[in-house]
Amino acid sequence: MRLVQRIILFIYCALVVMAFAPSSYGQVNNQSKPAIKIVIDYSPPYIMEQNGKITGIATQIVESALSAKQVSTDIKQLPWTDVKLSVDSEKVLSFWWHINKQREKSWLFSKPIYQAEYVFLARKAVRFYWTRFDQLRPYKIGLSHIQSYGEVFDSYIQYLNTEKTLSDFSAIKKLLDGQLDAILIEKSMAFYLMNYLTDEERQRLELFEEQVLHKEPYFLVCAKFFNNCSYYINQLNEGLKLLKNSGRYEAIIRSNRTLNEN
């Protein structure tokens, strides 16, 4: 009888120990999980270095989405040409890419991490106004020398008075100098660059942020040969959904579309 009691007591003690053990074991296991390497290059304000840390709108979105799914990240900066080589040859992630047919052959793409929105920034003095393309004819408009604005607008450019600009910042300077009446610029980029202007310069410009002429999505990618590629794509997609449902996604966008006080 005593032997039976001892066996029962032993089993009870073992069950008590097991009841408290799993959470600590789980934590150790989770902490030991290696971070996924992500390779990028700088493209302010979407990916940039600030106070020794890689940040930016797109970086914040990707890190927050993966963190929401308990995926830790190790972000490394490389030149864009090396970034592509790394994605093609290593088991890494990358973001801030467009979809094209060539890339789709070897890469998997997430849902859009960011939707670029192209709007007009104009001089207030010209009383810029538009709801149709033909209403843009009186103005001299600055366009990026490398950016497409969608098939419809691109086909209409031939009827407009336009000038190709080397950079968004140089285009803004031409606006302020009166050489251009308006420029097309990505909305977040407009806020980012206007924060480098004086109050007097800002007061001379007007951003038509509600009238979006063209949208362009950007994605997180990884190579199909990477066995865990689909897993990380799914984790990112699920994390994005959590961010959007919680309002965190829009909060990140809004926080990067503000003008600082000079």
Structure tokens belonging to residue 142: 């600055």
Q: Which pLDDT band, with edges at 50, 70 and 90, does 196 fall under?
A: very high
- Tell me the per-residue pLDDT of 210-251, one tens digit each, with 9 for 90 and over: 999 999 999 999 999 999 999 999 999 999 999 999 999 999
Q: Is the pLDDT at 20 greater than 70, yes or no?
A: no
Express each pLDDT in 100-135 by its tens digit. Answer: 999 999 999 999 999 999 999 999 999 999 999 999
User: Which tens digits make up the pLDDT trace of 144-162?
Assistant: 999 999 999 999 999 999 9
Widest Cα–Cα separation across the chain: 103
Burial code (b: 16+ CB inside 10 Å, e: under 16) for 72-94 equals ebebeeeeeeebbebbeeebbbb
Residues 66/236, Cβ–Cβ less than 8 Å? yes
Domains, in order of start, for the chain = 36-114+216-255 (3.40.190.10), 116-215 (3.40.190.10)
Closest CA to 213 of 127, 125, 113, 144: 144
**More confident of the two residues 189 and 23:** 189
CA dist., res. 71 & res. 84, Å (int): 22
Q: What is the pLDDT of residue 103?
A: 96
Residue 44 exposed, middle or buried by CB count within 10 Å (0-12, 13-18, 19+): middle
